[in-house]
Chains A and B, each alone.
Chain A
Amino acid sequence: MSVLTQSLWVLLLGSLLGLELIGKVPPTLHTPLMSGANAISGITVLASLTLIQQAGDNTALLVIGALSLGFALYNVIGGFLVTDRMLAMFRRKGDSR
């Protein structure tokens, strides 16, 4: 029970932190921010890794774990790279071309 309570606290505090992090966002950044937040939501890679570990010699679980790891990493790697590609294009007037 104590682990559950602790997890619920973590859930609550994490949500409150998330609500506070983004206050004002210039419209310029809506698209990159959405894309970046989307990459972070691929944090579910951690669940996939844990699943693979817990699978032991259960083949079905191992395969499902690897599959979900693939999907999650597609989200993470693709998301971070595409966000970087977008943000790299924002430059000031003086910056060299």
Chain B
Amino acid sequence: MTFSMDAFAAGIDLAAVLLLALGIKGLSKVSSARGANALAALAMGLAVVGLLIQIRPDPIAWLLIAAGSAAGGLAGLVTARRVPMTAMPETVALFNGCGGMASLLVAMGVALFDGGKSDIVALVSIAVSVFVGAITFSGSIVAMAKLQGWLDTPGWTQSRLRHGVNISLAVLCLVSALLLPGDPSGLPLWLLMGGSTLLGIGVTLPIGGADMPVVISLLNSYSGVAAAAAGFVVGSQLLIVAGAMVGAAGLILTQVMCTAMNRSLVSVLFGGALGASAAAVGGGGSEAGYTRITSCSAEECAMALEQAERVVFVPGYGLAVAQAQHSLRELSKLLESHGVEVSYAIHPVAGRMPGHMNVLLAEADVPYEQMLEMDLVNPEFPRTDVVIVLGANDVVNPQAKNDPTSPLYGMPVLEVDQARQVFVVKRSLGAGYAGINNALFEMPQTAMVFGDAKAVLNGLLSELRSMGVGKTKVAA
């Protein structure tokens, strides 16, 4: 009986691993992503049920399991429902930090209260679990706080001092881990935990907001490693395999994101905030740097749109800040009903993290076939009549292609300067994230429409309606 129960549980574990793997794989394709997410959730449920069958908790354990599950599950439910889509990066960071905290707690619990674990395997896995878990936790919380604007980038973190501080902390962690066998639940353990927590803060704090998604992705990979280490601590092979899988997949995703953002992982982690260094190189952008700016009204822009056959919108983070994606969708629907071909050009780093702009546009009901990735849309610009740039700057700067002295040189950009007419909707002539001037603004085919993205879009909508656009639409 016991044997068949164990065999049954083992079968469930195997099924869970398989489904998890299929889930991660499916999440990398648009058509299968939603089902794959459900599959991964099912796998997780299976793994939990399998474990409960194996360990047969007693009533007190059940009580605590119920209490912990209710608190965590309910909080997760509420957070997932309530959080606005624009706040996605910090939400993932918060969830991830809690995962790291869980691994940290398990390892600390075993080390402090489960006496007699002094063999080298247990100690190594506890040390790794505490170290990675604490870094994941504190790093994720700092990342969240910085994305929320609760924390600035302190000046000292941009100097070399921070490397000294972080190296000292890393040495402290290593030394206390080495001292662990002498005193498995005493001072070294606490030093290790404190040092790792501070190290997580020290490494994350200097990193600028634009690079933060890469850091979150990396910390996400760490939390997989922390889970695998916790698997060694409690002796669960399912946990080891799942943690290792997520850790490795997270590493690949981090790499993919770095490539998309044209940043190397090393420069993200050790280079400091991009804005600070680029401003030093480019001397900072100021309005005085522009000499040949043409500005125009919403009315002129609307007239160009009315004449156009093919229009491409280039949304940037400014659009999300202005919460203008719904107005944009309305405008494009109006144009489509007028027979205009509309699409959206999505730069890999549009929004606050790769893929974030797609989520924000999807929230406004934009079909994903209309969101074109950079490689697809760039060849289309020469046959595009009107491009409207909304709250994007550096990602449409032609200097990244033609000017080897520009700090942006080499970054893949949307080649909107190839289009017949370009309108740039912008609040002012302030510089972009990299702090440099944008040659696009001074090109003959470019006109600036100054104003808040949402106000300008609504202005365009009313101008077009007063021209009679959309009225001819046949009732569907």
Contact = CB atoms under 8 A, between A and B. Distances in A.
Interface of A: 3-4, 6-7, 10-19, 21-55, 57-58, 60-93, 95, 97
Given A14-B248, A40-B44, A23 B220 contact: no
Looking at B37, B79, B104, which has the most chain A CB atoms within 10 Å of its CB? B37
Contacts of B216: 34
Interface string B250-263: 11110011001000
B81 A60 contact: no
A40 B51 contact: no
B230 A19 contact: no
A47 B236 contact: yes
Contacts of B328: none
B23 A36 contact: yes
B110 interface: yes
Given A22-B256, A62-B60, A93-B369, A38 B223 contact: yes
Interface string B69-113: 101110111011101010011011001101101111110111011
A44 B220 contact: no
Contact of A17 (B21, B113, B257, B353): B21
B238 interface: yes
B223 A76 contact: no
Contacts of A83: 37
A41 B243 contact: yes
Looking at A29, A38, A55, A68, which has the most chain B CB atoms within 10 Å of its CB? A38
A23 B315 CA distance: 27
A12 B81 CA distance: 37
A69 B68 contact: yes
Contact of A82 (B33, B91, B220, B358): B91
A64 to B, nearest CB: 4
Given A19-B251, A22-B252, A75 B353 contact: no
Contacts of A73: 68-69, 72-73, 76
Contact of A58 (B57, B68, B113, B232): B113
B114 interface: yes
Contacts of B85: 86
Contacts of A89: 359, 362-363
Give the interface residue-count category, chain B. 35 or more
B55 A49 contact: yes
Looking at B245, B256, B365, which has the most chain A CB atoms within 10 Å of its CB? B245
B237 A7 contact: yes
B476 interface: no
Nearest to A77: B76
A30 B121 contact: no
B373 A43 contact: no
Nearest to B363: A89
Contacts of B91: 35, 78, 82
Interface in B212-235: 213, 216-217, 220, 223-224, 226-228, 230-235
Contacts of A21: 21, 24-25, 28, 245, 249, 252
A28 B369 CA distance: 11
A45 B95 contact: no
A61 B114 contact: yes
Given A43-B238, A63-B64, 18 more contacts: A10-B244, A12-B244, A15-B248, A23-B28, A30-B253, A36-B23, A36-B24, A41-B247, A44-B99, A51-B109, A68-B106, A73-B69, A74-B72, A75-B96, A80-B37, A81-B76, A82-B79, A87-B34
Contacts of A47: 102-103, 106, 227, 230-231, 233-234, 236, 239
B67 interface: yes
Interface in B409-461: none
Interface in B342-378: 346, 348, 353-356, 358-359, 362-363, 365, 367-371, 373
Contact of B44 (A13, A51, A76, A78): A76
